[in-house]
């Protein structure tokens, strides 16, 4: 933030080439990725740790222990565990930072040649300053952001590899300004005016002044830090941004802090325990003061004194410290270590390893970039996914095209049915020869458009072969298709492209590249201006999305031609193919000359004004195009995508697909990948052709369709009465509007200009049976028992209608819905099986993720601007015009609650997962509860920004169903077990003080109190991380089991309270039995009196024993490490007691000898252990046999447990267990006994 303010204050940066004075004004090139130094490590690390409320609590306890009047135990009992926890965290942070320091040192000390005083001198990278002319050799890393001055290539071209920035391994060409191509780098002088430091790596609007002339400088002349120079012997560049001012440095932002739901719940319950602790301390402290006043004079020999004002503070504080063990200091450390192990297990999982991606490095495993939120993998409610490269392979194949009013490809000979599996080049053996022989003008222009309108470069491999290097797989597929059609790209530089007409004369054509108008997500099109060196004709070739291209070609095409083209595009899109429209026009010489002056003037505009001027110039030449044709490219689904989606939908996970494709393409892909299953009704929301409807009609239509969709969903909440027409049966018009029918078709009546709002309910009553307000009430209604049992009607446990509907929304409608009908749109999305949003931008993806995640309004949009009013939203659709006689546009739904404004939060926070593979998915990945990046062909930006990185979409299934459930179940148990064993000790302190006149004395020895959480009970919960709640295969086969973790059944207020009550019961029982057996007159077997240390050790020993059996009973999987950690702890404890009791300096001296030789002690320990364990085992056994959960049945069946059946019948005896058996298909067991097999004890 501070750096951004400094950059804004700096304004335009002026870089003087080779000027030392220039460099003195800016920072050096030292790169710092580390967090600490030797001086700052301890204070900063401790400050960071103490910023957490839980650590502040423990620090407060430790400090209060030093006040002798209120300290019931030795301060070391709190200080030592606290120091241990802090030390472990500090050591881990220090080790990680040491590795960062080492990497920084390597970069900062790397040597480079720099021109000084007319000669090359060696400089460390950290000493490079702004204005220095730096020489970079081939295969070397760029030390800072350099303006390309000169290249070893005669054409001034250099190639860089940017995979450190965006993960893309294709080489990117860069070219120096033509006027500098032959300059003398040792004497050149000039000034470069550029933007202040900023993080936009694809933005560099600068102006070079040299020789009295001004030249435009763009990203094509910028070599970014951390990139590598390839296929170029050397380059010279001027340092523009150094150190933390580089583009890379400005993008080094801390990832968003994410907190697992389990951690939030534990923190919430910890607050309640803290409040309970305060109440106990206050009440018992008050009673203690009363008791002190009662016995103070008579019991002077006990150290009692008369009550004073200080006692009203000191006594409650003493009880507060006495019960401070209620919140265990160890559980956070144990959970953090277990989360780290879980992240390792994810990486070790061979089922999520892809040997084909990055095969040279040994393949691609799954990677956990964020170890703090593994539990949320087991509680995901919605998955928002990109399409291209995520659901698909991002391997493009040219399938068909529209050429001369006819389609080529997609059908076999004699077949009128379009088949996307039949490529245009596969319908006959001599397809390429047949295409190459064509010479008609339409075909020629189509082929030239494919071969010339792109930014593809040609790379030479080590073996001498060549390959096409493209910024996107689409462009590579188009260029390869051009080769098969007889237009082969042979050579391309920054100024010239050469193609060969292989099918006719075999002659080559050279075209001079005059200007390239590159593709971006806003323009959705690209153009290139070329001059044919043979004829001298200047031609503009353009390709882009149909919604951008069709308006540009209408002027030179007949209505029939456009209608035919649109029909072909719909056919292609319906088959799930990606489409582009191609166009061209010859540009007269005088027009080009005039336009080139405008583009030159626009290119030297400062700052953001350049972008505006360039866009205006582009629009002036990209018009009146002639259609060349249209292309259809297939991007095949990845293996296992339909199965993964179907399986996760059975796990009660709702899917959203957010894509930039056409409406028809998105609809077809949703069908093929399983988002739109057989029998589900499609609910489309699209605005239709904006040119044929006014803005009032667009908004009215959106309200009309939203209401109709709400009616369709709400109608499925109740069955139609006898003879009643089903209000949910609706057909779709060409514009996406619904009409209620029994069977047949309905046409969409043209909307009148006035609004169709609730005020005019009669107008819309024919197409809507409920209002949006009614719909919100219906969708938030809890499901009945009868409805919840039907999977086809309800998503179990969600309380949302799931009557077989799929919502599909196009991008312009998405923006209006977010701005105008936010709450209704959110309710509708949460009431259908799947949501498909097409033609959406990266910002809209993030907004939809925010809506799906929390139901709350994302206040600012993702471009940094505040969301505006409805008229601003309408202005995005076209020019804004006020209604006649009104100052503002009336909203047709203004009378609706929540319309034109954001209402209160209508839904609790939801856990959503976003998955994508490209840089345009980063905002949605970071916005989600969990972000998953796929390592794909669009680079590694998504995988680097994500919490988890996987190689294929199908790996999402084991990530959620296996690792998610394991992580959730383990963390829930570990946290609650830690609170149980701490409450056990704390409540013994409380009960004991009933017998000690509420004096605040501790029952426990300080050392053994410290060792309880710090040593003796530490291995059991730590090794519980190896536990598996069910076999892996069972979790994959029965995704319905996921619902238990999804609904948070393992950690609720009830389960947490039961753990605490179990601790209270065990504490009371163990203490009372001990005090009954060993009262004040008791003597040991040797005749020595049982002193205080001996009595509490009996209780302590019994508790150590019971802990071992409790963990054994609660474990689902007992591995060798588990068994060793559990059953070696009691012998270790006894050895510790013997050693501690042998120390003559200790008041514990002789305790071990007295106890070990006394049979009464061992008998008492056995009695206490049995008394505590038997009821617990009985309750657990009862529920396991008579009311097992689905997860328990899954484990028993997976382990081949013989008790699954009893005399040929299932063991379940109630509705819950019967449903669980249905989920697990236990009815398939039959009447015979399940064969016994040894349980699988392996771990993940």
**Is residue 739 over pLDDT 50?**
no
Average pLDDT over residues 1134-1140: 92
Rounded to an integer, what distance in angstroms lies between the CA atom of residue 664 and that of residue 727? 26
Which one has a higher pLDDT value, 1153 or 1111?
1111
**Is residue 1230 over pLDDT 70?**
no
Q: Centre a 10 Å sphere on the Cβ of residue 242 and count the other Cβ atoms it contains.
A: 29
User: Is 176 in a helix, a strand, or coil?
Assistant: coil
Rounded to an integer, what distance in angstroms lies between the CA atom of residue 692 and that of residue 1059? 66
Average pLDDT over residues 170-195: 84
The confidence score (pLDDT) of residue 1228 equals: 35
Give the relative orientation of helices 695-715 and 822-829 as an angle to the nearest 10 degrees.
40
Reported confidence tier of residue 743, pLDDT bands at 50, 70, 90? very low
Name residues whose C-beta falls within 8 Å of residue 710's C-beta, 6 or more positions apart in sequence: 768, 770, 771, 772, 774, 775, 824, 827, 828
The mean-pLDDT minimum among 233-247, 372-386, 466-480, 683-697 falls in 683-697
Q: What angle do CA 251, 255, 260 make, to 5 degrees?
A: 170
Q: What angle do CA 901, 905, 906 make, to 5 degrees?
A: 105
Rounded to an integer, what distance in angstroms lies between the CA atom of residue 934 and that of residue 919? 11
Measured CA to CA in angstroms, residue 762 lies from 693, 741, 755 at distances of: 22, 18, 12
For residue 197, how many C-alpha atoms fall within 13 Å in the half-sphere facing its CB? 27
What is the reported pTM? 0.76
Of 5-14, 248-257, 302-311, 967-976, highest mean pLDDT: 967-976
Q: pLDDT averaged over the chain?
A: 78
Task: For 963-981, give the DSSP string.
Answer: IIHHHHHHHHHHHHHHHHH
Name residues whose C-beta falls within 8 Å of residue 1164's C-beta, 6 or more positions apart in sequence: 1073, 1074, 1077, 1078, 1098, 1102
Task: For 599-641, give the DSSP string.
Answer: HHHHHT--TTHHHHHHHHHHHHHS-SPEEEEEEEEEEEEPTTH
The confidence score (pLDDT) of residue 143 equals: 93
**Is residue 1013 over pLDDT 80?**
yes
User: Is 247 in a helix, a strand, or coil?
Assistant: helix
Which one has a higher pLDDT value, 107 or 713?
107
Express each pLDDT in 440-458 by its tens digit. Answer: 788 889 999 999 999 888 8
Express each pLDDT in 1049-1090 by its tens digit. Answer: 899 999 999 999 999 999 999 999 999 988 766 666 666 777
Rounded to an integer, what distance in angstroms lies between the CA atom of residue 800 and that of residue 793? 9
**Is residue 230 over pLDDT 70?**
yes
The confidence score (pLDDT) of residue 505 equals: 57
For residue 608, how many C-alpha atoms fall within 13 Å in the half-sphere facing its CB? 3
Name residues whose C-beta falls within 8 Å of residue 867's C-beta, 6 or more positions apart in sequence: 818, 819, 857, 858, 859, 860, 861
Percent of the chain at pLDDT exceeding 70: 78
- Residue 383 β-bridge partners: 655, 913
Average pLDDT over residues 1123-1130: 89
Q: Are 419 and 400 a contacting pair, CB within 8 Å?
A: no
The separation between the first and the last C-alpha atoms of the chain, rounded to the nearest angstrom, is 43
Rounded to an integer, what distance in angstroms lies between the CA atom of residue 840 and that of residue 818? 12
Q: Are 142 and 225 a contacting pair, CB within 8 Å?
A: yes
Q: What angle do CA 297, 303, 308 make, to 5 degrees?
A: 60
Reported confidence tier of residue 305, pLDDT bands at 50, 70, 90? low
Return the structure tokens found at 988: 């013994």
User: Is 658 in a helix, a strand, or coil?
Assistant: strand
Rounded to an integer, what distance in angstroms lies between the CA atom of residue 974 and that of residue 1114? 11
Cα 985–chain centre separation? 41
**Is residue 1042 over pLDDT 90?**
yes
Reported confidence tier of residue 781, pLDDT bands at 50, 70, 90? very low
Which one has a higher pLDDT value, 741 or 548?
548
Name residues whose C-beta falls within 8 Å of residue 1012's C-beta, 6 or more positions apart in sequence: 325, 981, 985, 1004, 1100
Tell which residue, 1080, 102, 193, 161, has the closest CA to residue 603: 193
The confidence score (pLDDT) of residue 936 equals: 66
Express each pLDDT in 825-881 by its tens digit. Answer: 888 888 888 999 988 888 888 889 999 987 543 333 323 333 333 333 333 333 322
User: Is 483 in a helix, a strand, or coil?
Assistant: helix
Q: Are 918 and 942 a contacting pair, CB within 8 Å?
A: yes
**Is residue 302 over pLDDT 80?**
no
Reported confidence tier of residue 787, pLDDT bands at 50, 70, 90? very low
Of 170-174, 764-768, 1149-1153, 1160-1164, highest mean pLDDT: 1160-1164
Rounded to an integer, what distance in angstroms lies between the CA atom of residue 654 and that of residue 1140? 59
Q: Are 542 and 551 a contacting pair, CB within 8 Å?
A: no
The confidence score (pLDDT) of residue 10 equals: 56
Tell which residue, 742, 720, 722, 746, has the closest CA to residue 733: 746
Judge residue 961's burial from the number of C-beta atoms within 10 Å of its C-beta, 0-12 exposed, 13-18 middle, 19 or more buried: buried
Reported confidence tier of residue 429, pLDDT bands at 50, 70, 90? very low
Name residues whose C-beta falls within 8 Å of residue 668's C-beta, 6 or more positions apart in sequence: 573, 574, 575, 576
The mean-pLDDT minimum among 112-116, 488-492, 736-740 falls in 736-740
């Amino acid at each position: 933030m501070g750096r951004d303010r400094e950059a804004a204050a700096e304004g335009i940066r002026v870089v003087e080439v080779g000027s030392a004075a220039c460099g003195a004004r800016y920072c050096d090139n030292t790169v710092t990725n580390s967090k600490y130094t030797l001086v700052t490590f301890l204070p900063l690390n401790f400050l960071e740790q103490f910023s957490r409320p839980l650590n502040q609590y423990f620090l407060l306890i430790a400090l209060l222990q030093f006040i002798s009047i209120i300290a019931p135990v030795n301060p070391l009992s709190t200080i030592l565990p606290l120091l241990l926890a802090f030390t472990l965290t500090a050591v881990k942070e220090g080790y990680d930072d040491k590795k960062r320091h080492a990497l920084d040192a390597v970069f900062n000390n790397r040597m480079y040649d720099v021109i000084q005083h007319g000669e090359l001198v060696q400089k460390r990278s950290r000493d490079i300053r702004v204005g220095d002319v730096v020489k970079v050799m081939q295969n070397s890393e760029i030390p800072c952001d350099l303006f390309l001055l000169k290249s070893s290539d005669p054409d001034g071209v250099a190639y860089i590899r940017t995979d450190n920035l965006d993960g893309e391994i294709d080489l990117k060409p860069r070219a120096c300004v033509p006027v500098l191509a032959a300059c003398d780098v040792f004497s050149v002088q000039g000034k470069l005016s550029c933007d202040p430091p900023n993080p936009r790596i694809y933005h560099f609007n600068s102006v070079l002044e040299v020789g009295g002339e001004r030249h435009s400088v763009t990203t094509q002349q910028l070599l970014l830090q951390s990139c590598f120079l390839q296929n170029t012997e050397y380059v010279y560049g001027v340092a523009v941004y150094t150190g933390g001012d580089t583009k890379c440095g400005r993008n080094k932002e801390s990832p968003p802090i994410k907190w697992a739901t389990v951690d939030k719940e534990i923190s919430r319950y910890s607050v309640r325990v803290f409040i309970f602790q305060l109440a106990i301390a206050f009440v018992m402290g008050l009673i203690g003061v009363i008791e002190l006043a009662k016995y103070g004079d008579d019991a002077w020999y006990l150290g009692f004194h008369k009550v004073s004002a200080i006692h009203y503070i000191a006594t409650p504080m003493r009880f507060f410290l006495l019960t401070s063990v209620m919140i265990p200091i160890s559980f956070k450390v144990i959970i953090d270590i277990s989360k780290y192990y879980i992240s390792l297990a994810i990486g070790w999982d061979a089922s999520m390893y892809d040997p084909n991606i990055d095969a040279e490095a040994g393949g691609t495993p799954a990677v956990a970039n964020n170890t703090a939120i593994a539990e949320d993998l087991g509680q995901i409610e919605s998955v928002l996914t990109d399409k291209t490269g995520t659901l698909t392979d991002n391997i493009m194949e040219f399938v068909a095209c529209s050429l001369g009013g006819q389609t080529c490809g997609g059908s076999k000979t004699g077949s009128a049915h379009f088949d996307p599996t039949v490529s245009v080049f596969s319908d006959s053996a001599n397809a390429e020869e047949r295409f190459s022989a064509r010479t008609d003008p339409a075909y020629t222009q189509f082929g030239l458009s494919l071969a010339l309108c792109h930014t593809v470069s040609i790379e030479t491999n080590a073996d001498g072969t060549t390959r096409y290097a493209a910024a996107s797989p689409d462009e590579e597929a188009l260029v390869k298709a051009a080769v098969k059609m007889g237009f082969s790209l042979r050579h391309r530089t920054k100024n010239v492209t050469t193609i060969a007409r292989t099918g006719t004369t075999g002659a080559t054509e050279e075209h001079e590249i005059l200007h390239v108008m590159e593709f971006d997500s806003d323009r959705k099109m690209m153009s290139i201006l070329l001059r044919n060196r043979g004829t001298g004709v200047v031609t503009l070739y353009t390709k882009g999305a149909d919604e951008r291209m069709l308006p540009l070609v209408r002027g030179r095409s007949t209505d029939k031609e456009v209608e035919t083209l649109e029909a072909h595009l719909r056919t292609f899109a319906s088959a799930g193919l990606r489409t582009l429209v191609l166009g061209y026009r010859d540009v007269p010489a005088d027009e080009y000359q005039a336009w080139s002056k405008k583009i030159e003037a626009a290119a030297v505009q400062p700052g953001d004004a350049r972008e505006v001027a360039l866009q205006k110039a582009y629009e002036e030449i990209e018009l009146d195009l002639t259609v060349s044709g249209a292309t259809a490219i297939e991007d095949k689904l990845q293996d296992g995508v339909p199965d993964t989606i179907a399986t996760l939908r059975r796990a009660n996970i709702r899917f959203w697909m957010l894509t930039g494709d056409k409406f028809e393409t998105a609809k077809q892909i949703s069908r093929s990948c399983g988002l739109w299953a057989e029998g589900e009704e499609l609910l489309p929301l699209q605005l239709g052709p904006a040119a044929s409807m006014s803005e009032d009609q667009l908004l009215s239509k959106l309200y009309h369709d939203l209401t109709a969709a709400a009616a369709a969903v709400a109608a499925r909440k109740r069955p139609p009465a006898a003879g009643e027409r089903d209000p949910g049966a609706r057909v779709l018009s060409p514009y996406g509007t619904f009409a209620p029918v029994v069977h047949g078709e309905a046409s969409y009546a043209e909307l009148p200009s006035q609004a169709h709002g609730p005020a005019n309910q009669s107008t819309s009553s024919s197409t809507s049976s409920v209002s949006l307000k009614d719909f919100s009430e219906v969708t938030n209604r809890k499901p009945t028992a009868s409805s919840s049992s039907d999977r086809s009607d309800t998503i179990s446990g969600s309380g949302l209608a799931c009557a077989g509907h799929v919502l599909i929304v196009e991008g312009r409608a998405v923006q209006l819905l977010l701005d105008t009908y936010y709450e209704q749109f959110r309710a509708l999305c949460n009431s259908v099986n799947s949501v498909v949003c097409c033609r959406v931008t990266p910002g809209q993806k993030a907004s939809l993720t925010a809506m799906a995640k929390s139901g709350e309004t994302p206040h600012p949009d993702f471009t940094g601007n505040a969301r505006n009013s409805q008229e601003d939203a309408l202005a995005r659709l076209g020019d804004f015009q006020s209604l006649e006689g009104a100052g503002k546009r009336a909203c047709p739904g203004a009378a609706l609650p929540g319309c034109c404004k954001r209402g209160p939060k209508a839904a609790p926070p939801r856990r959503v997962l976003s998955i994508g593979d490209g840089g345009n998915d980063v905002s949605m990945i970071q916005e989600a509860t969990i972000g998953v990046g796929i390592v794909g062909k669009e680079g590694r930006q998504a995988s680097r920004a994500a919490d988890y990185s996987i190689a294929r979409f199908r790996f999402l299934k084991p990530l959620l169903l296996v690792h998610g459930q394991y992580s959730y179940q383990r963390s829930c148990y570990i946290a609650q077990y830690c609170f149980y064993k701490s409450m056990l000790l704390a409540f013994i302190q409380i009960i004991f003080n009933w017998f000690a006149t509420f004096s605040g004395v501790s029952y426990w020895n300080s050392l053994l109190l410290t060792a309880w959480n710090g040593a003796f009970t530490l291995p059991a919960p730590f090794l519980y991380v190896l536990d598996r709640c069910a076999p892996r295969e069972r979790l994959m086969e029965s995704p319905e089991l996921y619902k238990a973790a999804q609904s948070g059944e393992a950690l609720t207020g009830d389960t947490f309270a039961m753990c605490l009550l179990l601790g209270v019961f065990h504490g009371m029982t163990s203490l009372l039995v001990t005090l009954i057996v060993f009262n004040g007159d008791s003597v040991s077997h040797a005749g020595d009196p049982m002193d205080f240390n001996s009595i509490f050790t009996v209780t302590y020993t019994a508790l150590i024993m019971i802990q071992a059996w409790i963990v054994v009973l609660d474990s689902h999987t007992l591995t060798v490490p588990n068994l060793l950690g559990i059953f070696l702890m009691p012998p270790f404890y006894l050895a510790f007691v013997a050693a501690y009791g042998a120390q003559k300096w200790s008041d514990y001296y002789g305790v071990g000898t007295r106890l070990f030789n006394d049979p009464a002690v061992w008998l008492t320990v056995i009695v206490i252990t049995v008394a505590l364990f038997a009821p617990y085992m009985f309750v657990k056994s009862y529920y396991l046999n008579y009311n097992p959960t689905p997860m328990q049945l899954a484990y028993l069946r997976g382990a081949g447990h013989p008790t699954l059946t009893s005399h040929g019948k299932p063991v379940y005896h109630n509705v819950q267990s019967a449903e669980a058996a249905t989920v697990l298909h236990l009815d398939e067991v039959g009447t015979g006994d399940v064969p016994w097999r040894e349980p699988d004890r392996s771990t993940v």
